[in-house]
Amino acid sequence: MRIRKARETMTSRERVLRTFALERTDRVPINYSSNPTIHRKFADALGTAGDHEAFLNALGVDFRGIGAEFVGKCPFPELPGLRVNPVYGFYTRWVENEYGGYDDFCAFPLAGASDEAIDAFPCPDPGEFDVDSAVSNLDRFGDRAVSCGGAGTGDIINSIGRVMGMEDTLVNLLTEHPPTLRLIDRKLDMELGVLARILERAGDRVDFMWLGEDLGTQRAPMIGAELYRRVLRPRHQRFIDLAKRHRLPVMVHTCGASSWVYEDFVEMGVSAVDTLQPEAEGMSPESLTERFGGRLAFHGCISTAGPLAYGSAADAAAYCKRTLEVMMPRRGYFFAPTHAIQDNTPVENLFAMYQAAHDFGRYGS
């Protein structure tokens, strides 16, 4: 099986950058993200198992990303049956289900911790990341659009919640607990330092910066606007300012009912928003295009919890077609799943999804 790709008159890089600028393109840019189990099934069906670049090319994916690997020594203790992240210090355990499984966050080393323990929690130096190898990957990406950062870069709530627990994290943000804010700033300083080194080495070959901060539940904001503006916004602004110094557009990943913060994003200089869970309050394609079309570009909106996972291939194709019909007229739309495609998704629905992007995502002459 294969995807019949749309006729192209632009390179991926041109297509993506013009979409950030809300300009007309030959077709919508296409992106991909999935869990490992469903990815293996999809790659096998495409005949690209073991060759990720061939897989992305078979789908017509326009995006590639670079990041620097941590090469320092892990400062966190090993715990039986768990895996520890050597950069951020969170612990996970593998939990299987009938389709595959997930890494579940656990242990929370800073839950209920003293001020002294929070201040002593390790954070790597930017020099402990292999920037040279990251930049060397640029050569093999050709004319693809390249991002630095990712959906978790610059994140505060999730990244601290994984080591402190969500309740302590939210309370400490609200009260502006000094040791917690110092921990946040040490983490962000490290990420900014790594990004700055990548951008210095990569020159103009990186095309945009990707950041993230989950700010909504399915029904409402996760935090209040005043707390965001007082504590989180100035810290996110540091990343946007770094990107602007390198003349890069910025895309921000925000899960759930997060459109309440998009006016702030516009003021801050954000170019695009990612995820766009259409089931969440205020996040339908119609609502987003009506309120923010022409001011923000949109990446995502193809739900991983709707027809893609639970419908037929025809349902998935019709759903993608309808989303494209709503999002494309204002331009500035990147076709992508809301989150990583889940393991319970039928492979035939993935073929229908990406075929729909090529069949219905063309702007025409």
149: left (phi over 0), alpha (psi -120 to 50) or beta: left
CATH assignment, 12-75+116-360:
3.20.20.210
Task: Name which of 126, 130, 21 is nearest 66 in CA terms.
Answer: 130
- pLDDT at residue number 302: 98
> What global pTM score does this model have?
0.97
Q: Where are the domains of the chain?
A: 12-75+116-360
Give the pLDDT confidence of 223-273 residue by residue, as tens digits. 999 999 999 999 999 999 999 999 999 999 999 999 999 999 999 999 999
Beta strands in the chain (DSSP E): 63-66, 69-70, 83-84, 91-96, 101-106, 129-130, 145-149, 208-212, 250-254, 272-275, 297-302, 333-337
Question: CA 120, CA 76: separation in Å to the nearest integer?
Answer: 12
What mean pLDDT do residues 158-182 have? 98
State residue 1's pLDDT score: 84
Write down the pLDDT at residue 365: 59
CA distance 146 to 143: 9
Residue 242 and residue 280 in contact, taking contact as beta carbons nearer than 8 Å = no
Using DSSP's 3-state secondary structure scheme, residue 283 falls into coil
* DSSP-derived secondary structure for 148-177: EE-TTTT--HHHHHHHH-HHHHHHHHHTT-
Average pLDDT over all residues of the chain: 97
pLDDT grade for 137, boundaries at 50, 70 and 90 = confident
pLDDT band at 364 (very low <50, low <70, confident <90, very high): confident
Compute the CA torsion angle 214, 216, 222, 227 (nearest 10 deg). Answer: 70
Interval 303-360: pLDDT, tens:
999 999 999 999 999 999 999 999 999 899 999 999 999 999 999 999 999 999 999 9
Residue 170 confidence (pLDDT):
98
Lookup result for tokens 């020159």: 203
Q: Model confidence at 222, in pLDDT bands (50, 70, 90)?
A: very high
Tell me: pLDDT of 4 over 70: yes
The candidate with the shortest Cα–Cα distance to 203, out of 128, 134, 135, 131, is: 135
* pLDDT at position 316: 98
pLDDT in tens, 287-308: 999 999 999 999 999 999 999 9
66-115: per-residue pLDDT in tens? 999 999 999 999 999 999 999 999 999 999 999 999 999 999 999 999 99
d(CA 86, CA 84): 6
Residues 6 or more apart in contact with residue 267 via CB below 8 angstroms: none
